[in-house]
Amino acid sequence: MPDARPLGDLSPELLGSSVWPDRAVLEAGIPVYDVPLVSVGGGLGSFTLVDALRIQGAPASSLRVLSNLDTPWQTWAYLSRVSQLPPRERIRSDAGARPDNIWGFPSYALHEAWRDRSPRLLFQVLTEPVLTDFFSPRAETVFATLEREAARISYAAMLAKGQVRMVRRRAGDGYFTILTPPAGATPTKRIAIRSRFVHLAVGYPGLRFLPDLQEFRETHNDYHRVVNAYEPHEHVYEFLKSRPGVVVVRGAGIVASRVLHRLMDDRERYGSQTQIVHMFRTFVSGAHGPGPWMRRRGGDGWAYQAFTLPKSAFGGQLKARIRRADGAGRAELMKVIGGTTTPRLRPWQAQMRAGREGGWYHPVQAVVDRVEPTPDGRLASLTSSDDGTRARHVSDFVIDCTGLEAGVPEHRVLADLLEHGGARRNGAGRLMVGENFAVTGTENGDGVLYASGAATAGNHFPAVDSFLGLQTAALDIAADLAGRGFCARLGPLRSTGQWLRWASGRPV
């Protein structure tokens, strides 16, 4: 029987074996390219690593970023925009966490203060969080500075477009990464990149819906009235501008805050008559925590925290404690410091207070049992509360702001790595990595496979899924690579010299 596979596609032999000899790849007709290091993903995780490596002296020709994204900030920009964070808005991130600058100096606060000639921003960063709210940069500041840094390190020259299908170990040492380039871009369906080092920064495996909302959407084929905050849902705000309506908001994190902020802004700006029912699964009524040494602020349903984790989890005392703890200790500490939180910002507090007093914002503790359509085409959320009461809330829309993440096996490349690459999952269900961010069990000869970002949560470092966390991983990986002779170490002299180049906008 003739082989029906397209030219240069994966053969049954390749698909079925965990270790590939060079011969098998060549026999499948897949062209092989050699690059010392590839980074899979092409988002901010890949960007921060290649940025650190370029600063540490790796030439652009020794690095390839494999991605279907045109720019590293594309996914982040999309998710921010649809989750009600337009470019002018301030994100939830520390002044010193700037993905375009491994040193974090000057901070985004100094950058914006200088650019906007704004002493107010300087005062804010000087007195945060004692007299003022934490400073955080505008999304547009992050985009603009990333664009500048991308040009400085020749990011475009390192980018190879396409969809990564898998990473497999090569017989002997190193890895093969299989890329499916855009249709028509290459003569063969796949190409293989043979490298000693691989870095995986594939972001969230995916978003998951609340089960009752997913069931409603599938049963009633209604993707209009039940929306996820991470999907485009502008039609909800447009509808509510045009006539009075009721919206149920579910979730207690930053995205719920932003969605509420948008709904409340629209009331102020356009005179919308929107009624907001805000459902908290866990209603936080005050400060909480195991003791006076560990008490987080809370109230009105929310747990309050400036950033996604307590600040020191990014680089201070809590980071050190987690690193030292064993698996059980880490899980226990994460239970205390993790969880859904939102920053306690003065303008948001004022809006919610006005809403409660005006009788149009109704925060409630409720668990939704079922969502069903009403005869007049609206939605009824049937809920039960901790005190045993049951209720039925009728609304025009439900906005799911819970942002549940899909599991690692739902990502094709990670699932393949678990099946064929020797990778293991940690107690949190993510990839187990060492302190150098090498994925445990995947080493091959002198080859190393690293990972960073959301897929590496639950290991020695809690804040993996943040600007500073990605940079931490990038610097730790780069230090490990320097130890293996791949690039130079970043000592005080090189660091200062490279910072001067950064500051003056000269290439690395």
Nearer to another protein, 150 or 490 (CB): 490
Q: For the chain, how are helix, strand and coil distributed in percent, rounded to 5?
A: 35, 20, 40
Dihedral angle at the C-alpha atoms of 475, 479, 485, 486, nearest 10 degrees?
-10
Contacting another protein (CB under 8 A), which of 126, 156, 394, 406? 126
Going residue by residue from 451 to 490, which x/- string records binding to another protein, judged by CB under 8 A? -----------------x--xx--x--------------x
Rounded CA gap, 340 and 428, in Å? 16
Residue closer to another protein, measured from CB, 130 or 328: 130
What x/- string results for residues 51 through 90 when contact with another protein is judged by CB under 8 A? Answer: ----------------------------------------
Residue 436 near another protein by CB under 8 A: no
> Does 105 participate in binding another protein (rule CB under 8 A)?
yes
| Residue from 244, 391, 496, 507 in contact with another protein (CB under 8 A) | 496
Cβ burial, residue 74 (10 Å; 0-12/13-18/19+): middle
Part of the chain binding another protein (CB under 8 A), chosen from 123-131, 140-148, 326-334, 366-374: 123-131
Helix (H, G, I), strand (E, B) or coil at 399: strand
Rule CB under 8 A: is residue 384 a binding residue for another protein? no
Tokens 């000087």, located at residue: 126
Total Cβ atoms within 10 A of residue 350: 11
Q: Counting runs of H as helices and runs of E as strands, what totals does the chain give?
A: 17, 24
Q: Which lies closer to another protein via its Cβ, residue 24 or residue 110? A: 110
Place of tokens 């509510």: 240
**CB nearer another protein, residue 86 or residue 329:** 329
Q: What are phi and psi of 304, to 5 degrees?
A: -100, 135
Decide if 368 contacts 383 (C-beta within 8 A): yes
Binding-site string for another protein from residue 281 to residue 320, where x marks contact by CB under 8 A and - marks none: --------x--xxxxxx-------xx---xxx-xxxxxxx
Burial of 322 (0-12, 13-18, 19+ CB in 10 A): buried
Q: DSSP readout, 177-235? A: EEEEPSTTSSSSS-EEEEESEEEE----S-EE--HHHHHHHHHHT--SSEEETTS--HH
Among 36, 45, 96, 253, binds another protein (CB under 8 A): 96
Which residue, 99 or 181, is less far from another protein as judged by CB? 99
Sign of CA dihedral 55, 56, 57, 59: negative
Q: Is 17 exposed, middle or buried (0-12, 13-18, 19+ CB in 10 A)?
A: middle
- Binding of another protein by 254 (CB under 8 A): no
Fill in the per-residue mask, 324 to 363: x = in contact with another protein (CB under 8 A), - = not in contact: ----------------------------------------
Q: Is 495 in the site for another protein (CB under 8 A)?
A: yes
Q: Out of 1, 4, 131, 328, name the contact with another protein by CB under 8 A.
A: 131
CB 99 within 8 A of CB 47: yes
Residue 187 is a binding residue for another protein (CB under 8 A)? no
Q: Which is nearer to another protein, 202 or 478 (CB)?
A: 478
Nearer to another protein, 179 or 470 (CB): 470
Question: Which residues would be at the binding site for another protein (CB under 8 A)?
Answer: 96, 102-107, 110, 125-131, 289, 292-297, 305-306, 310-312, 314-320, 468, 471-472, 475, 490, 492, 495-496, 499
